[in-house]
Amino acid sequence: MSAEKILSDWKKGNFKPVYWLEGEESYFIDQIVDFAEHHILKESEAGFNLTIFYGKDADWAAVINACRRYPMFAERQVVLLKEAQQMRDIDKLESYLENPLNSTVFVVSYKEKKVDGRSKLAKILKQKAELFSTKKMYDSQLPEWTNNMVQQHGLTIDQKALYLLVDHVGNDLSRIQNEIEKLAMNLGARKNITEDDIENYIGVSKEFNVFEMQDAIAKKDFSKAIRIIQYFSANPKAAPIQMILPALYNFFSKVFMVFGAGTNDEKQLASSLGINPYFIKDYMAAAKNYTYQGTEKILLLLHEYNLRSVGVHDSGTDDAELMKEMVVKMMY
C-alpha cells in the first residue's frame, strides 16, 4: 500500500487498527505520521485521545496499555509510536498486535530499516497490520518526483532548472519539498521556475555548478572546466569534491552504456539509459567526443581520484588541484 492510499483512506474515514511504517525513506513515513497526529482527530478530541511515544524512552507495557484504552468522547483514539527502531523489547508488542482494538489507530514509525522477515513480529504484522514499507528513491527517479511536486504547487519548471535543483539538493525528499515551497513563496504571480530562480532563491550558481562542470568535461571545454573548479575552490560549500565525483561517475557510466545500446534513436536510447530525452544529446555528444576507450579511461580516473580525495595513495593534495589534474588527464 502506498502513502497516498493510506492518506486517501483516512480522509474518507476508513481506518485499520494498526499501521506499521518502515524502511529507509523517512519522507513518506513522516508524511503519514504527521497526518495521523494532526488530522485524524478533531482538535477538541485530541486532548483526551492522542497519545505519543518515542521509541528510545517508551516502555512496551505503557504503549500496550495506551492502545487498550477506549476513546473518550470520540469514535476512536490515536496512539503514535515514533522512532520505534530505537525501542527496546519492541517484540513485546506482539501480544497487542495479535489482537488490536478496533477503536484505536496505532501508528508505528520504524525508520531506517525493516523488521526481520523471519521473526514472529514480522509474521504478525503481515497478518494483522497495514504494513507500509519504503526504500530510498533511485537518483534517476528524483527529477520526475520533483517535477510532480512542483506541479502539485501549481507551478512549472524549466528542464535545466529542474536538474539544477535536484543535483544541488540530492536524495533528500523533505529538503526538495522545502525548497519548492520557498520558490513558490518568492515567485509572486509567476508560475514558472527558471534557472535564475534557482540561483536567486536556492543559492545555486547557474554558471558554476556540478551540472555545468559535467557539461564542460563532456564537451571537452577545458577553460570552462578550470573556471568552474576555481569557483568551487573559492566557494567550498558550493560543490565539494565528494559531490562532484559521484555526479560525474553517474553521467559517464551512462555515456559508457551508449556504446552497448545498439541504437542511435534518441527516444530508444533515453529509455535504455533511464534518462530524460531532453538531455540525451549531451550523452551522445560525450560518447562521440571521448569514444569507448576514452570513456572507460574517465571511469577509471574517477575511481582513482575518488580514492585520492579521501586520502588513499595521496598525501593531502588540495581538492581543487586534484580536480585540475584529473580534468587534464581526462581531456588530453
To the question of pTM greater than 0.75 for the whole model, the response is yes
Between the CA of residue 279 and those of 6, 211, 251, 330, what are the distances in Å?
A: 36, 12, 11, 22
Q: Tens digits of per-residue pLDDT, 265-313? A: 999 999 898 888 888 999 999 999 999 999 999 999 999 999 999 999 8
The predicted pLDDT at position 66 comes to 97
* 3-134 homologous superfamily: P-loop containing nucleotide triphosphate hydrolases (3.40.50.300)
With 80 as the cut, is the pLDDT of residue 1 above it?
no
Q: Write out the CATH class of domain 139-202.
A: mainly alpha
Distance from C-alpha of 80 to C-alpha of 58, rounded to nearest angstrom: 11
The grid coordinates of residue 171 equal 536524495
- All cell numbers assigned to 172: 533528500
Nearest in space to 182 (alpha carbons), one of 201, 195, 161, 159: 201
> How confident is the model over 69-81, as pLDDT tens digits?
999 999 999 999 9
Whole-number CA gyration radius for the chain: 25
Domain extents in the chain: 3-134, 139-202, 210-331
Q: How many CA atoms lie less than 13 Å away from 72 in the CB half-sphere? A: 9
CATH of the domain spanning 210-331: 1.20.272.10
Give residue 28's pLDDT.
95
